[in-house]
Amino acid sequence: MKHAVIMAGGSGTRFWPQSRKEMPKQFLTVTGDRSLIQSTFDRCQPDIPAKRFWVVTNAVQAEATRLQLPEIPDSHILEEPCGRNTAPCIGLAAIQLLAEDPDAVMVVMPADHVISPSAEFRKAIGHATRLIEQDPSRLVLFGVRPSYPATGFGYIEQGEPLEGEGPGTHVASFREKPDAETAQQYVDSGRFFWNCGIFVWRADTILNCLKEHEPEIHACLQTLAPQVGTDQWPQTLADEFPQMKSISIDHSVLERAENICLLEAPFGWDDVGSWHALERLHPQDVHGNTIVGRHAGVDTTGCIIRGEPNHLIASLGVKDLIIVQTKDATYVASRHDEDGIRRLIEQLRESGHDQFL
Amino acid sequence: MKHAVIMAGGSGTRFWPQSRKEMPKQFLTVTGDRSLIQSTFDRCQPDIPAKRFWVVTNAVQAEATRLQLPEIPDSHILEEPCGRNTAPCIGLAAIQLLAEDPDAVMVVMPADHVISPSAEFRKAIGHATRLIEQDPSRLVLFGVRPSYPATGFGYIEQGEPLEGEGPGTHVASFREKPDAETAQQYVDSGRFFWNCGIFVWRADTILNCLKEHEPEIHACLQTLAPQVGTDQWPQTLADEFPQMKSISIDHSVLERAENICLLEAPFGWDDVGSWHALERLHPQDVHGNTIVGRHAGVDTTGCIIRGEPNHLIASLGVKDLIIVQTKDATYVASRHDEDGIRRLIEQLRESGHDQFL
């Protein structure tokens, strides 16, 4: 059976001041009226029912997750005692799924991306599932054809077509975040795709892969597995989980495993990685401004502006700014320094403004 | 006896979004913890007691005036039925004062300027009063020595020294707002002063002057005068006041009268005419930023930033901006377009954002 596993442990800072430690990006509404995590749930409907949904999150965010997704069984909201990157996260989900369903197929998805149209997404998951039915040892991942030479993503190089009918290829190589020139070459070649972090595989398969490539993580998971659903689970989790190596599923398994299948994503995808995403997800006015909320401007061009409902943002004689207003903090930045927000967050931390993080 | 008359009828827009139709600049706190109108009251203490204070305002602002200055007798808060510039405003105050005190000397002051130190201000008022004791027909005004070639103020040209002992001169000429080149000449000459709108004269003297130079205004005031303190006052005021010509005391009287005395203001003065005033009234940080409120910045220079208490304004990679945050509206502007705010306000009016004005 197909299960959805939403990875929702992040604490992204690049959407500050809207995203906060206790209200990270997945709980925000970026388009429409449902949050990113709610939209992640919605787009799987009706293919994966709520009772086969799982969310891996942390103690701080579990409550908001339950509030936003009351349909998901409480026992399926898994709380990591600490962050250990995606390999332990996925392993944790795998042992939980197997306890309920020995044939579980996991559809692993980040909680905070924008994908559309949903129907194409569900069709793509269908393709992936069929590839796994043909060969249960397969690890399927989705590659997004790059729309610009992004330097902020890893790339996957397409290999030979899979044997047999239908779409899908092998993977020729994984590449780390490139410099601008290399990114341009990747885009031009037509053979490179963004890794969008959506994976489909059997739970037992990924555990076998972890056993082969990360035996220590696997050993911890083996200690945990018999405790699923017992009173000992919380204590065992608190004991074992922090011992696991912090490593991504990409580095630990995907870049080393044999049976990887790449499917080109037939859906639009955006990681909403910075305020610039608003520009991709909303139309621009005649002056090249992207406005979400109430705005009045004179001589305002190329700005990305987002305010709370009913709050007015007024601008005069400004160009290429990002302006974000929230109840307790306002952010005004040059749009040309996309990475600078990290330094700003660092400064907030150092200068005693923790309450706003 | 000396009476203080605060002119508080303005509806300045250049301090938007902090100033609003119902909460204009005089009710705002710009330095310290008292509003501009409260500071106007404070700086006269202990020389002019509260019971000899008068405020000329309008119906919309009367309530806030009473709340901010509860010391002033309720009957001394005069409500103009409509705005008619400073000549009718001062005439109205004059007849009220005369009904209580036939020898009333009026110290006329705008409600929304910053002046310091207060002791120097009181000393200057003392000088003015003595000039009037010497010659009751005198109209005394204060000239501020210009600190920069402002094009937004009228200028007063110093004339010959007054006869007799002490400071003070005649006025050689009044000049309208000059262009930049002329303003520079004015500053260089050392003979030109800003008219700061602070006047001292006897109430009967200014009424005589109005009688001579604006007989129609004077006639309306003569109709009003017998009704002061009676039940007929509100109706008579509503009937007569709107008939008066809308004209400033400068154009109607000062530029035509004979017995004008100019005293150089020995105090610091700022009309708080735009957000740039914050820069004159507060110290700058090492990057040339003027910060009022809570701020954290990376690569931020030459900005004027003001937020509500406890609201954080964070900035990144920006230069020469004005950033003002209030509960329901946020303003982000280039500091180089000081007059643009008028166009912005116009745009707000035209585009259905009246509720924010």
Q: What is the DSSP letter of A10?
A: -
Q: Give the 3-state secondary structure of chain B.
A: CEEEEEECCCCCCCCCCCCECCECHHHCCCCCCCCHHHHHHHCCCCCCCHHHEEEEEEHHHHHHHHHHCCCCCHHHEEEECCCCCHHHHHHHHHHHHHHHCCCCEEEEEECCCEEECHHHHHHHHHHHHHHHHHCCCCEEEEEECCCCCCCCCCEEEEEEECCCCCCCEEEEEEECCCCHHHHHHHHHHCCEEEEEEEEEEEHHHHHHHHHHHCHHHHHHHHHHHHHCCCCCHHHHHHHHHHHCCCCCHHHHHHCCCCCEEEEECCCEEECCCCCCHHHHHCCCCCCCCEEECEEEEEEEECCEEECCCCCEEEEEEEECEEEEECCCEEEEEECCCCCHHHHHHHHHHHCCCHHHC
Q: Does B351 touch chain A (CB under 8 A)?
A: yes
pLDDT digits (tens, 9 = 90+) for B223-275: 999 999 999 999 999 999 999 999 999 999 999 999 999 999 999 999 999 99
| pLDDT recorded at residue A293 | 95
Residues in chain A within 8 Å Cβ distance of B328: 310-312
Q: Would you say residue B13 has pLDDT above 90? A: no
Amino acid at B222: Q
CB contact under 8 A, A316 and B343: yes
Q: Would you say residue B64 has pLDDT above 80? A: yes
| pLDDT recorded at residue A33 | 92
Chain centre to alpha carbon of residue A77: 17
Q: Does B245 touch chain A (CB under 8 A)?
A: no
| pLDDT recorded at residue A13 | 81
What is the distance between the alpha carbons of residues A153 and A113, in angstroms, rounded to a whole number?
A: 14
Q: Would you say residue B165 has pLDDT above 80? A: no
Tokens of A53: 């949904």
Closest in B298, B317, B356 to A312, CB measured: B356
> CA nearest A328 in B: which residue?
B311
Residues in chain A within 8 Å Cβ distance of B340: 298-299, 316-317
pLDDT digits (tens, 9 = 90+) for A125-139: 999 999 999 999 999
**CA torsion angle for A64, A68, A73, A74 (degrees, to 10)?**
20
| pLDDT, chain B, mean | 95
| pLDDT recorded at residue A338 | 85
In chain A, which among 1-30 make CB contacts under 8 A with chain B? 16-17
- Residue from A138, A62, A64, A144 nearest A105 by CA: A138
Q: Does B341 touch chain A (CB under 8 A)?
A: yes
Work out the average pLDDT over A339-351: 93
Q: What is the DSSP letter of A189?
A: H
Residues in chain B within 8 Å Cβ distance of A313: 329-330, 332
Indicate left, alpha or beta for A152 from its phi (over 0: left) and psi (-120 to 50: alpha): alpha
Amino acid at B78: L
**CA torsion angle for A183, A184, A186, A189 (degrees, to 10)?**
180
Residues contacting A196, CB < 8 A, separation 6+? A110, A113, A142, A143, A144, A265, A269, A271
Both ends of chain A: CA-CA distance in Å? 40
Please give the helix or strand (H or E) that residue A78 lies within, else none.
strand A77-80
Q: What is the DSSP letter of A253?
A: I
- Residue from A331, A332, A328 nearest A318 by CA: A332
Q: Are A178 and A80 contacting, i.e. CB atoms less than 8 angstroms apart? A: no
Residues contacting A66, CB < 8 A, separation 6+? A72, A74, A77
Q: Are A152 and A212 contacting, i.e. CB atoms less than 8 angstroms apart? A: no
The pLDDT confidence band at residue A343, using thresholds 50, 70 and 90, is very high
Q: φ and ψ at A264, to 5 degrees? A: -70, 130
Residues contacting A70, CB < 8 A, separation 6+? none
Q: Does B343 touch chain A (CB under 8 A)?
A: yes
CA distances (Å), origin B95, targets B44, B99, B100, B212, B218: 22, 6, 9, 16, 10
Q: Report the gap between the CA of B276 and the closest CA in chain A (Å).
A: 15
What is the distance between the alpha carbons of residues B198 and B193, in angstroms, rounded to a whole number?
A: 13
Instruction: Please name the residue that has the structure tokens 């399927």.
Output: A140
Q: What are the boundaries of each domain within chain A?
A: 2-270, 277-356
pLDDT > 70 fraction of chain B, expressed in percent and rounded: 99
Q: Report the gap between the CA of B78 and the closest CA in chain A (Å).
A: 34
Q: φ and ψ at A318, to 5 degrees? A: -125, 155
Closest in B296, B299, B336 to A317, CB measured: B336
Q: Report the gap between the CA of B293 and the closest CA in chain A (Å).
A: 12
Q: Are A18 and A93 contacting, i.e. CB atoms less than 8 angstroms apart? A: no
Chain centre to alpha carbon of residue B104: 21
Q: Would you say residue A81 has pLDDT above 90? A: yes
Q: Are B168 and B162 contacting, i.e. CB atoms less than 8 angstroms apart? A: yes
pLDDT digits (tens, 9 = 90+) for A32-48: 899 999 999 999 999 99
Record the pTM: 0.90
Q: Report the gap between the CA of B291 and the closest CA in chain A (Å).
A: 14
Q: Does A312 touch chain B (CB under 8 A)?
A: yes
Partners of B20 in beta bridges:
B23
Residues contacting A131, CB < 8 A, separation 6+? A138, A140, A162, A166, A168, A200, A261, A263
pLDDT digits (tens, 9 = 90+) for B123-143: 999 999 999 999 999 999 999
Q: What is the DSSP letter of A23?
A: B
| pLDDT, chain A, mean | 95
Indicate the pairing of strand B114-116 with strand B268-270.
antiparallel
- CA-based torsion, B153, B154, B155, B161: positive or negative: negative
ipTM for the predicted complex = 0.89
Work out the average pLDDT over B155-169: 90
The pLDDT confidence band at residue A12, using thresholds 50, 70 and 90, is low
Residues contacting B41, CB < 8 A, separation 6+? B4, B6, B50, B53, B69, B71, B72
Tokens of A241: 């989980």
What is the distance between the alpha carbons of residues B136 and B113, in angstroms, rounded to a whole number?
A: 27
What is the distance between the alpha carbons of residues B181 and B189, in angstroms, rounded to a whole number?
A: 12
Partners of B147 in beta bridges:
none
Residues in chain B within 8 Å Cβ distance of A312: 17, 328-330, 348, 353, 356
| pLDDT recorded at residue A28 | 93
Residues in chain B within 8 Å Cβ distance of A296: 344, 347-348, 351, 353
What is the distance between the alpha carbons of residues B124 and B140, in angstroms, rounded to a whole number?
A: 11
pLDDT digits (tens, 9 = 90+) for B99-119: 999 999 999 999 999 999 999
The dotted CATH code for A2-270 is 3.90.550.10
Q: Are B157 and B192 contacting, i.e. CB atoms less than 8 angstroms apart? A: yes
Q: φ and ψ at A209, to 5 degrees? A: -65, -40
Partners of A164 in beta bridges:
none
Residues in chain B within 8 Å Cβ distance of A333: 315-318
| pLDDT recorded at residue B12 | 67
pLDDT digits (tens, 9 = 90+) for A154-203: 999 999 999 877 789 999 999 999 999 999 999 999 999 999 999 999 99
Amino acid at A58: N
Residues in chain A within 8 Å Cβ distance of B297: 344, 347
| B28-32 long-range contacts, CB within 8 A, separation 24+ | B30/B114, B30/B272, B30/B277, B30/B278, B30/B281, B31/B114, B31/B281, B31/B282
